[in-house]
Structure 1
């Protein structure tokens, strides 16, 4: 399949492109600025994609420019969809990457796709707005949405939690400052996410939303202990009150039932394997 991929230079994009090529697909990287409507339309026309994987986004929740979330995640997606609609031959699948962040501080886990979204930051709000906007194109494009829960791997920014931990262990740091140590979250492998996306391109139904998750949360403290075991290092863990949220949800994970029904069972790399891969890279 000829795939047009936006955000190919990003963390997920780099891994997805490698996975797609290894699976035998032809990948065309979208290089145009999502704000450049004319440039987008020209490049999309030249690409003539059979399917589209839209990963480009401002994804760091703490990004300083709130407007950038909406400029790229919402309006940039609008521009891309308009370019796809203008094609003489429409793609057969369009994957739009949203985020499990749209569920907000949901106090019931595992979280299914039926859970009412309650975004609590600009990133999540921009992604949910993107979903609603994109659904107005369903009469023109066979698009669907993915909401990945936390995942990690080599190349992820150290502004995210697991890469921050790995960076400290690689540097043999004596200590690290963290927030709530007892919280449980999913920390899935980016390879699992990429394989899920590839399978969904074959089987997803237009208009549907799929949680990309394992349903297996682990505590932050257990991740630290696992890194200590793998590396044989000790590290002092300091709780920084500035990193502690008073209303932190103790356990968040997704319900993978809909994903599994659509694509079948997938092999999940263990967290140990993921961390060893990250430490080695």
Structure 2
């Protein structure tokens, strides 16, 4: 009876020390889970569709529609989950052929080729200009001579010639009174029986979501820099700030001195007894 090797002995040796290749999707997924966010939360905060987020977390970038859009989605999702997007973009470029090469500048001889040819002086135009200048000078001399004759006749008749022209009466320009704009902290007194929250995008653009105490959506959209929104409810206001660092909050007539970081996603609730984070 011959003794041979079993099929299990012929399997290739696997080194357990080898690390799995760096995965953009796995890094984004782990950062999202660590931040306590669902795919729906990230989609709401970034406006990236849920199906695209799932595809990117599975390292499938085909639904993005091209390398430019894929890089933009990776950068947006990384910021939403508090992750540095630079290593992810470098990894994407390394695995997808890198960034497109810039368009080469046109050769120098092409610019020389389209340069207009120099022409000699246009003597005809110069002669026409000289003739016009002579005619104009003669006409001006004759007109000035007529004015001098009229002045002499006035002196002979005894009419004094002062040689001065009456100065026009100065007009007083009255600028319209302008009503000074109120400062950021000067807002109307809030009613005592309601909770009033004013959201102002002072340092940049941010996505905002606001709901009342029944969970009904009051507002869902972006505020551009300089825009503001005011929300009121009888009991409480629930907020989600997509970029809390760009927002100033006024609760029941008082400005909050928050320390939100740029790009941070914050979930806040305010009631009639605030200002204080609920």
The answer to whether the superposition gives a TM-score over 0.5 is no
Larger relative helix fraction: 1
- TM-score bucket of the superposed structures, by smaller chain: under 0.3
